[in-house]
């Protein structure tokens, strides 16, 4: 999923359940935390390691995700980073290295793992016990429709914050209603779009009499890649017109990486 959806979804969920401003901030930080692995991707270039320091690697796991949450909260609670976060988000909220806040950061991180597990290629959620990747394979890496909705909601939220000229605490209270509505919008978008993707996935798999987990998403929600493992072929299938666009040989081990 995209960065905006990863941050917006847990933050609005916190507002929906009437959590405190600090707890909602912790959810937001946790929702963004796993993608900081972009700063770890250089490590295998210089050091031999068996740890998956790639994107959607070690920080996108249940166990090491907790370690990631603790490290990110520790950094976010330092004075320098607090000032950066307060300036970036135009807020007076300061996070502390407290067990309760750590729980909310980790909850935000788990929401990130949930959203990414809906997308292509999935996550090695149970590492270090297994490197098996888990994915519903419903969305591509970034879904353009969810991204558009998240951008609109983010812009609307910024607009309202600027329009409501009140102290931060009172402004947050005044925005409770809009926050609830925005959460309902983004939650409904994930459910509805996910349901439509599952329907299209089913059509693609049934056309070839393949198990549903043989169909993989592409950038176009109506174009699916159906992997015939027995014949090592990939069929690029248009579910709208119910027709095969193309086919090609494939003998790799990561069919979830299809981009056609």
Determine the structural domain holding residue 111 and report its residue range.
3-140
Residue 96 forms part of a structural domain: yes
What mean pLDDT is predicted for residues 111-125?
94
- pLDDT score, position 255: 67
Residue 179 forms part of a structural domain: no
> Is there a contact between 88 and 94 (Cβ–Cβ < 8 Å)?
no
Residue 35 forms part of a structural domain: yes
Residue 219 forms part of a structural domain: no
d(CA 122, CA 101): 28
> Is there a contact between 221 and 200 (Cβ–Cβ < 8 Å)?
yes
Q: How many CA atoms lie within 13 A of 240 on its CB side?
A: 5
- pLDDT score, position 253: 66
Residue 52 forms part of a structural domain: yes
Its pTM stands at: 0.91
Residue 100 forms part of a structural domain: yes
Name the band, by pLDDT with cuts 50, 70 and 90, for residue 6: very high
Q: Is the pLDDT of residue 105 over 80?
A: yes
Residue 61 forms part of a structural domain: yes
% pLDDT > 70, the chain: 95
Q: Is the pLDDT of residue 40 over 90?
A: no
Distances 115 to 67, 100, 143, 193, 218 between C-alpha atoms, Å: 19, 23, 11, 13, 17
Q: How many domains does the chain have?
A: 1
For the chain, give the number of residues.
Answer: 260
d(CA 104, CA 88): 20
Query: Rounded to 10 degrees, what is the CA torsion of 171, 145, 106, 127?
Result: -170
Residue 187 forms part of a structural domain: no
Name the band, by pLDDT with cuts 50, 70 and 90, for residue 83: confident
């Amino acid at each position: 999923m995209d960065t905006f959806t990863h941050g917006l979804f847990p933050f609005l969920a916190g507002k929906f359940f009437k959590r405190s401003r600090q707890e909602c901030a912790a959810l937001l930080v946790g929702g963004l935390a796993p993608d900081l692995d972009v700063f770890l991707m250089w490590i295998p270039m210089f050091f031999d390691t068996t740890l998956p320091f790639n994107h959607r690697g070690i920080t996108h796991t249940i166990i090491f995700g907790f370690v990631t949450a603790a490290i990110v909260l520790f950094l976010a609670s330092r004075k320098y980073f607090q000032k950066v976060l307060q300036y970036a988000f135009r807020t007076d909220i300061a996070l502390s290295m407290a067990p309760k806040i750590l729980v909310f950061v980790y909850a935000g991180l788990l929401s990130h793992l949930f959203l990414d597990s809906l997308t292509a290629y999935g996550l090695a959620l149970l590492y270090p016990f297994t490197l098996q990747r888990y994915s519903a394979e419903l969305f591509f890496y970034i879904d353009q429709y969810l991204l558009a909705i998240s951008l609109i909601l983010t812009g609307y939220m910024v607009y309202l914050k600027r329009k409501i000229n009140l102290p931060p605490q009172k402004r947050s209270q005044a925005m409770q209603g809009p926050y609830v509505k925005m959460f309902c919008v983004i939650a409904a978008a994930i459910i509805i779009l996910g349901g439509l993707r599952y329907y299209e996935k089913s059509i693609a798999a049934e056309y070839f009499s393949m198990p549903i987990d043989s169909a993989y998403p592409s950038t176009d929600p109506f174009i699916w890649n159906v992997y015939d493992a027995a014949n090592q072929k990939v069929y690029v299938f248009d579910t709208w017109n119910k027709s095969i666009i193309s086919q090609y040989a494939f003998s790799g081990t990561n069919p979830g990486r299809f981009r056609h």
